[in-house]
Amino acid sequence: MKTRMDKSICSWWDGPCLFEVLDRIEVPLRDPKGPFRMPIIDKFKDMGTVVMGKIESGTIREGDSLLVMPNKHNVKVIGISLDEHKVRYAGPAENVRVKLSGIEEEDIMSGFVLSSVANPVGAVFEFNAQLQILELLDNAIFTAGYKAVLHIHSVVEECEIVDLIEEIDMKKKKETDPKKKKPKRKPLFVKNGAVVVCRVQVNNLICIENFSDFPQLGRFTLRTEGRTVAVGKVVAVPPAGSPTFSA
């Protein structure tokens, strides 16, 4: 099968073809033996309470006892459907419908996470993130007090930047000699194109994970007036048992 464009048609291109690029894409790791994580995107009643979502980690089986986070509601799995077919179990990357007992539909919201009991997902009011500023609205300044809408897995929540911790110089990020490292720069504000570590605060508890642990639950966008102004990843969450960092 011919994979590259004929030089007579596209003489200026010497790179890989589309299929070669697609073959090189690294598929995000989802551990079937990891703690169960399924962000809930929708819910409805059908002879019980049914939730919908994609399994990001772990495996689910009929009879499993799980938690609905962040409200820590204990539930039991009484049915699993995959592509309209009932199944006994399902694994990572599968979009499923899960029928639960022990909870009512009105006690569940989009953005909640169906989670393992032994190792539940964290629920926080604030977290530290590394942001890449893309394009701010005209006359907007990205500084402490900046407000936007946070989109992370199935969560859509208003948020506020409460502190700019450090601006990262990506050109010097590969510097490995600690003696040559300059002190952290704590900026008052940053402009388009900047990379900054900041603290993000929300009004309601949200379920997130560090990007390094669960990429699917740790990457997000910030949007303002329908425009994506920044993309980011979660780099630190409060200690277990505390929804916020200590002062």
User: What would be the CATH architecture of the domain defined by 123-236?
Assistant: Beta Barrel (2.40)
The per-residue pLDDT for 4 is 62
Q: Which CATH number fits domain 37-120: 3.40.50.720, 2.40.30.10, 1.10.1060.10, 3.30.70.2740?
A: 2.40.30.10
Helix (H, G, I), strand (E, B) or coil at 123: strand
The single-letter code of the amino acid at 34 is G
CA distance 100 to 74: 10
Q: Decide if 135 contacts 227 (C-beta within 8 A).
A: yes
Q: What is the separation, in whole angstroms, between the first and last Cα of the chain?
A: 62
The string of pLDDT tens digits covering residues 146-194 is 999 999 999 999 999 999 999 988 776 654 444 555 556 788 889 999 9
**Contact criterion met (CB below 8 Å) for 133 and 190:** yes
Q: What are phi and psi of 88, to 5 degrees?
A: -85, -25
Of 81, 63, 31, 19, nearest in space to 217 by CA: 31
SS3 state at 216: helix
State which H helix or E strand residue 89 sits in: strand 89-90
pLDDT score of 241 more than 90 = no
Rounded Cα distance between 181 and 205, Å, is: 37
CA 23 to chain centre: 24
- Rounded to the nearest 5°, which phi and psi values hold at 32? -65, -20
* pLDDT given for residue 180 in this prediction: 56
The reply to whether 37-120 and 123-236 are identical in fold is yes
Provide the residue type at 99 as one letter: K
Cα–Cα distance list, 206 to 71, 86, 153, 203 (Å):
10, 30, 11, 9
Average pLDDT of the residues in 34-62:
94
Domain boundaries along the sequence of the chain = 37-120, 123-236
* pLDDT tier for residue 1 given thresholds of 50, 70 and 90: very low
* CA–CA distance, 216 with 207 (Å, rounded to integer): 12
